[in-house]
Amino acid sequence: MLLRFFSVLFLLLLNQQLFAAAKPIPKVPEIAASSFILMDFKSGKILAEKDPDKKVEPASITKLMTAYLVDKALEAGDISLTDEVTISEKAWRMKGSKMFVEVGKQVSVEKLIEGMIIQSGNDATVALAEHVAGTEKAFAEYMNHQAKLLGMDNSQFKNSTGWPHKEHYSTARDIAILSQAIIRDYPESYRLYSVKEYTFNEIRQFNRNRLLWRDSSVDGLKTGHTEAAGYCLASSAEKDNMRLISVVLGTKSDKARTRNSQTLLNYGFRFYESNRLYKAKETLKTAKVWFGEQDQVSLGVQRDVFVTIARGRYKELDASVEIDPEITAPVAFGQELGRLVVKLDDVVIVSQPLVAMQAINDGGLVKKAMDSIKMLFE
């Protein structure tokens, strides 16, 4: 009887340990949308998705690419915020959401950016495209070039606004990649995406992203709607040093896109955590160098290493480094000399190059001779 008792107790404890180790994450909530994706901003890990590579009309979410290219033009010095842009008849005649600029009048780039992002003004967007590239058609070529550079492999742009066109399309994944680039590359400009209202020409208009009023952690990004695209929303929120990006496309109403986006964000924050394991350019390991002016080289990673995992599993991570067995000078700065590998449950979740943190020059004939002798013994 006693043996049976301890046997049962052992099985119960074993089951508890197995259950604790598994820590299952609930299934992704049902989302009534044609496609969606939920991404961790820092690690890029996809936490939830449905047809993320389905090509659909992105509607006014297109303006995210226009805004990104305007920021690049500002950064390069090709344009400035104080530039006065003369509003063309084409920009003035744009239908849909408008900033209500007047044909022939001059409006600063800064005000046009505000009108494009906060009010989703098609007129402001075309005016900016023309100012950057001369024509909207030429600007669309810039958009497609930039999409390739960002890895947006399933996007094609025909205009700056998202105005319906059968050959104008993107995907939930590509929009998440673009949103990540906007937040990462232009954090100062990104602040504008959380502004709730804007007044121009004495006309007060409100940001169409209703999540800005519902959830204080939400600070962007962009809504979109056409009859073909349905109601769409690219959103981002930050809690407890974790930022998520949600893209929901093709819902049936404004309320649906808001509700579904909130559901995805809540799911990500509730069941996942994001951690920085290592800082960029921080020495993680030193390695022996043969035939060089120095005998050791510092190894590190070129960018911060983040992992996104189920909540409560941080201590279960297993990190290791794999260093090239024989490193010889010369060694260039940034040269790959090994790999950093992070596992969870024996599954690789991070694999990044370990690179030289400094250059090591050739040590000369004497050093080579001495090291050659040492190598015979080592």
Q: The tokens of 212 are what?
A: 């800005």
Return the residue matching tokens 């409100």. Answer: 206
The model's pTM: 0.88
6 pLDDT higher than 60 = no
Query: Mind listing the pLDDT tens digit for each residue in 188-245?
Result: 999 999 999 999 989 999 999 999 999 999 999 999 999 999 999 999 999 999 999 9
170 is catalytic: no
Instruction: Work out the pLDDT band at 18, boundaries 50, 70, 90.
Output: very low
The dihedral built from the CA positions of residue 88, 89, 95 and 99, taken in this order, carries a sign that is: positive
Query: Are 197 and 58 in a shared domain?
Result: yes
Q: Which of 6-15, 84-93, 355-364 has the highest mean pLDDT?
A: 84-93
Query: Are 317 and 193 in a shared domain?
Result: no
- Which one of 238, 272, 306 terminates a domain? 272
How would you class 19 by CB atoms within 10 Å of its CB: exposed for 0-12, middle for 13-18, buried for 19 or more?
exposed
Query: Are 120 and 232 in a shared domain?
Result: yes
pLDDT (average), residues 124-132: 98
Average pLDDT, the chain: 91
Query: Are 239 and 340 in a shared domain?
Result: no
What is the predicted pLDDT for the residue at 2?
Answer: 44
347 pLDDT higher than 50 = yes
What is the predicted pLDDT for the residue at 23?
Answer: 61
Cβ neighbours of 319 (radius 10 Å): 14
Q: Which of 60, 54, 56, 250 is nearest to 162 (CA)?
A: 60
Query: Are 264 and 289 in a shared domain?
Result: no
Q: Which residues, 6+ apart, have CB-to-CB distance to 2 below 8 Å?
A: none
pLDDT (average), residues 17-21: 45
How would you class 174 by CB atoms within 10 Å of its CB: exposed for 0-12, middle for 13-18, buried for 19 or more?
buried
Q: Which of 60, 170, 179, 261 is catalytic?
A: 60
Query: Are 252 and 291 in a shared domain?
Result: no
- Which one of 272, 292, 319 terminates a domain? 272
Q: Which of 42, 45, 63, 222 is catalytic?
A: 63
- Quick check: is 29 in a domain? no
Query: Mind listing the pLDDT tens digit for each residue in 93-111?
Result: 999 999 999 999 999 999 9
What is the predicted pLDDT for the residue at 25?
Answer: 86
For residue 233, the domain's CATH number is 3.40.710.10
Query: Are 249 and 347 in a shared domain?
Result: no
Q: Which of 41, 35, 61, 53 is nearest to 268 (CA)?
A: 41
Q: Which of 272, 245, 278 is nearest to 352 (CA)?
A: 278
pLDDT (average), residues 266-295: 92
In percent, how much of the chain has pLDDT > 90? 82
Query: Are 264 and 286 in a shared domain?
Result: no
Q: Which of 120, 160, 236, 261 is catalytic?
A: 120
Query: Are 217 and 344 in a shared domain?
Result: no
Return the residue matching tokens 């979410």. Answer: 61
What is the predicted pLDDT for the residue at 5?
Answer: 42
- Quick check: is 5 in a domain? no
- Which one of 272, 307, 325 terminates a domain? 272
Query: How far apart (Å, rounded) are the C-alpha atoms in residues 36 and 303?
Result: 28
Query: Are 256 and 292 in a shared domain?
Result: no
Domain containing 360 equals 279-377
- Quick check: is 3 in a domain? no
Q: Which helix (H) or strand (E) holds 70?
A: helix 63-76
41 torsion bin: left (phi>0), alpha (psi -120 to 50), beta (else):
alpha
340 vs 370, residue with greater confidence = 340
Query: Are 56 and 84 in a shared domain?
Result: yes
161 pLDDT higher than 70 = yes
63 is catalytic: yes
Q: The tokens of 276 are what?
A: 């920085």
60 is catalytic: yes
For residue 306, the domain's CATH number is 2.60.410.10
- Domain total of the chain: 2
Backbone Cα Rg of the chain: 26
